[in-house]
Structure 1
Amino acid sequence: MTEFDTPFTFKRGLQLKNKLVIAPMTTKMSFYDGVITTDELDYYSLRSGEVGAFITAAANVHESGKGWEGELGAYDDRFIPGLAKLAAAIKKNHTKAILQIFHGGRMTDSKVLGGAQIVAPSAVPAERPDAQMPRELSETEILEIIEGFKDATRRAIEAGFDGVEIHGANTYLLQQFFSPHSNRRTDAWGGTLEKRFTFINEVVDGVTSVVDASGVKNFIVGYRFSPEEYEEPGIRLSDTFYLVDQLSNKPLDYLHLSLNDYTRISVSEDYKEKTILAYIHERINGKLPLIGVGNVRTKHDVQNVLTHAELIAVGRSVLIDPHWAQKILDNQENLIRRELSSYDREELKISNGVWGFLQGMMPERLK
């Protein structure tokens, strides 16, 4: 286990002042066209300055990839001024700003896309209520989206961010290409496990090549992934071991596991002896730093996660108490706010989207 209050340096040179990171969380606070709002800047600013890094909510790299209303845009140069304001709002007291970039794929609907049909690797709807039938992406469109990830990375560099995180988790497009449920293609982009990794491979290579060619110093690239799916067929932990093996050999700076609880055990009967976090950390075997996450509330949780990770991300606890990190760092855990009332929303800069997220995930804390 590493100490969470000591600095951490990535291989590209960026140094975090401590090992606490704010996890990416959907805010739904941007304007309808993806431009950041003053309220959103206030939300980020309030929670920044104490942690080592802050990863933003997902920013869309292509117009076809918008997942919800109020989503941050990064698919056009016109977003650069707003992104620059966001980076500046986060970069207080040496906190580093990481822009998460993504494409929603089939996890959206035509209303969000202005009437256009949703897209995915294959014409297979998601297994969720009211899921719409997606249109299969053509190879030309796939290549265009890869360019979108590259262009969004350039914009993040120009806006003054300290890095980007490629969002390959939570059933969005990158995960959809890797999943045997959502990817039924028989061309170079699907079929075998290796071919289902092709899109991820091209996005990662494209993004890292942009960073390397730009000459920017101390700019990092991370990749977030979900370890399992419940769909049949779906991603299993053994598939994720392959994913981790491939990504660990890429010029990435970290991997970020997406879990709602760091103590979660695999659904697979073959992997019940340890937590998913422990299995993944063991598989990486020191090739890249791992960010652990999932229901972190206390200093004890922080220490437990860092048994199987180099960095730790926290989400919901920082929504409830923006100064959670400093209280953990100062050994003042008794001062951490654990519950919310409806009267706290304005003080905490919590939007309807964030409030709905909290109500769904921790109703016992809302009074």
Structure 2
Amino acid sequence: MNEKFAPLFEKVTLPNKVELRNRFVLAPLTHVSSHEDGTISDVEIEYIEKRSKDVGLAISAASYVTELGKAFPGQPSVAHDSNLDGLKRLAKAMKKNGAKAVVQIHHGGAQSMPYLTPNGDVVAPSPITLQGDVKHSPSYEKEEHHAREITQEEIEHTIKAFGEATRRVIEAGFDGVEIHGANHYLIEQFVSPYYNRRDDEWGENRFKFPMKVVDEVVHTVQTHADDNFIVGYRFSPEEAETPGITMEITEELVKLLMDKPLDYLHVSLMNVHAKTREGKYQGEERIKLLHKWIDGRMPLVGIGSIFTAEEALEAIESKNIDQIALGREILLDHQFVHKIQNGEEEEIMSEFDSNREDHHDLPPGLWEQFNKGLYELPRTDGK
């Protein structure tokens, strides 16, 4: 290995004393490859084993905690005890080569897709009409759908469902869970003034729902797991919608999260150096602000447009993040970490090549989405 890349392979110790072997994280990536009922497929096992092999921390694709929260075709489920056999296989595959394996637990909220949920029902903090995500429609077309207001009883049930999902993750043999509070899904929707216009306790305190979910997950861990079980939380720092989540709101959220027994925070960004859109922090790098607010109390995982070894190194050497999550790049080249470690960084594949016979070792559904140009990434064909 070129010694300048040594900082990428430093060990990371989490607050619960678990040691990760390097600073690389497999990001939770939608793979559209689970069976229709959410059970784990052979294709999914093969896909994630390759991409977990060399990282320190591997996070599974967003896995729904209730049928009402299903947001993607081919999305894995942690909603039923009947999912356990497949989850055990997934845990074994992700941990096989030494990575710590974490399941991202998720509810789509308003972003759930009616063609996937029971009776086409979709819920959100407040009633809202949305355009479906082009990547998640069976015809890859935007389709308008309506979400109704989630009831008090359903809120309580959903919080419990996050706890039950955590129990299943523990029983399946994983090393941790990541609470998905990002990317316009249900937990973020409660924080957002765009999605949450309620006039009850869940609207007057928009942080109540995410904190209740965290508390439920932590209680489940304390009841069913040992002290080495990892709990992380993912969040998006700003929304484009008006009025949406701002960095000022995120500052409040982060300070609340730091009072919880979490082991890392994971910020969702399209570019790791993205700058704040507006407000008193306008123009400042979000990652730098977050690192300052966290003040070393737990690791910060950053992600966003890292396609080369040099970009990964620069992100870590900025001292604003502790771990670097690999998303689109580790889909293009599952040997990204291995090649850096073995002095082969010049051989890293950083562009999508639609003519590759091996299809970048992607599952068929994900290959099709890449080939149709549904994800923003470097390409050899210019699409």
Does residue 163 of structure 2 align to residue 159 of structure 1?
A: no
Q: How far has the Cα of 1:363 moved from its partner?
A: 5.4
Map 1:195-210 → 2, pairs under 5 A: 195-210=205-220
What is the SS of the residue equivalent to 2:105? strand
Does residue 73 of structure 2 align to residue 69 of structure 1?
A: yes
Per the alignment, residue 22 of structure 1 pairs with 26
Per the alignment, residue 138 of structure 2 pairs with none
Per the alignment, residue 323 of structure 2 pairs with 311
- 2: CA distance, partners of 1:138 / 1:364: 43
- 2: CA distance, partners of 1:293 / 1:363: 14
Q: Is the 8 A contact 2:359 2:367 kept in 1?
A: no
Task: Give deviations 1:338-362, integer Å, cap 9, x for gaps.
Answer: 2323434556033323541573334
Task: Give deviations 1:18-67, integer Å, cap 9, x for gaps.
Answer: 11011111001011100111011010112222110111110000111000
Per the alignment, residue 122 of structure 1 pairs with 126
Question: Aligned partner of 1:295: which letter?
Answer: S
- 1: CA distance, partners of 2:39 / 2:131: 31
Q: How far has the Cα of 1:93 moved from its partner?
A: 2.0
Q: Is the 8 A contact 1:99 1:163 kept in 2?
A: yes
Question: Aligned partner of 1:351: which letter?
Answer: P
Per the alignment, residue 240 of structure 2 pairs with 230
Q: How far has the Cα of 1:114 moved from its partner?
A: 4.1
Per the alignment, residue 361 of structure 1 pairs with 375
More divergent stretch after superposition (134-143 vs 9-18): 9-18
Does residue 9 of structure 2 align to residue 9 of structure 1?
A: no
Residue of structure 2 aligned with 1:80, choices 64, 81, 84? 84
Give structure 2 stretches of 5+ with no counterpart.
Answer: 133-141
- 1: CA distance, partners of 2:16 / 2:40: 29
Task: Give deviations 1:294-344, integer Å, cap 9, x for gaps.
Answer: 011222222222220111101111111110011122332111122323434
Q: Is the 8 A contact 1:249 1:287 kept in 2?
A: no
Question: Aligned partner of 1:198: which letter?
Answer: K
Distance 1:272 1:330, change over 3 A: farther
Q: Is the 8 A contact 1:31 1:37 kept in 2?
A: yes
- 1: CA distance, partners of 2:36 / 2:380: 28
Q: Is the 8 A contact 2:202 2:208 kept in 1?
A: yes
Per the alignment, residue 307 of structure 2 pairs with 297
Question: Aligned partner of 2:168: which letter?
Answer: R
More divergent stretch after superposition (75-84 vs 266-275): 266-275
More divergent stretch after superposition (335-344 vs 274-283): 335-344
Per the alignment, residue 108 of structure 1 pairs with 112
- 2: CA distance, partners of 1:42 / 1:55: 15
Distance 1:19 1:184, change over 3 A: same
TM-score by length of 1: 0.94
Task: Give deviations 1:98-144, integer Å, cap 9, x for gaps.
Answer: 10000000102321114332111111223665332211111111010
- 2: CA distance, partners of 1:98 / 1:357: 25
Per the alignment, residue 352 of structure 1 pairs with 365
Question: Aligned partner of 1:266: which letter?
Answer: T
Does residue 199 of structure 2 align to residue 186 of structure 1?
A: yes
What is the SS of the residue equivalent to 2:201? coil
Map 1:144-293 → 2, pairs under 5 A: 144-191=157-204, 195-293=205-303
Per the alignment, residue 40 of structure 1 pairs with 44
Q: Is the 8 A contact 2:276 2:283 kept in 1?
A: no
Distance 1:215 1:338, change over 3 A: closer
Give structure 1 stretches of 5+ with no counterpart.
Answer: none
Q: How far has the Cα of 1:4 moved from its partner?
A: 1.9
More divergent stretch after superposition (335-344 vs 102-111): 335-344
Distance 1:324 1:341, change over 3 A: same
Per the alignment, residue 56 of structure 1 pairs with 60
What is the SS of the residue equivalent to 2:361? coil
Distance 1:164 1:142, change over 3 A: same
More divergent stretch after superposition (284-293 vs 295-304): 295-304
More divergent stretch after superposition (302-311 vs 69-78): 302-311
More divergent stretch after superposition (13-22 vs 251-260): 13-22
More divergent stretch after superposition (334-343 vs 273-282): 334-343
Q: Is the 8 A contact 2:67 2:118 kept in 1?
A: no
Alignment size in residue pairs:
364
TM-score by length of 2: 0.91
More divergent stretch after superposition (169-178 vs 106-115): 106-115
Q: Is the 8 A contact 2:66 2:161 kept in 1?
A: yes
What is the SS of the residue equivalent to 1:165? strand
Q: Percent same amino acid among aligned pairs?
A: 39
What is the SS of the residue equivalent to 1:338? coil
Per the alignment, residue 330 of structure 1 pairs with 342
Per the alignment, residue 343 of structure 1 pairs with 356
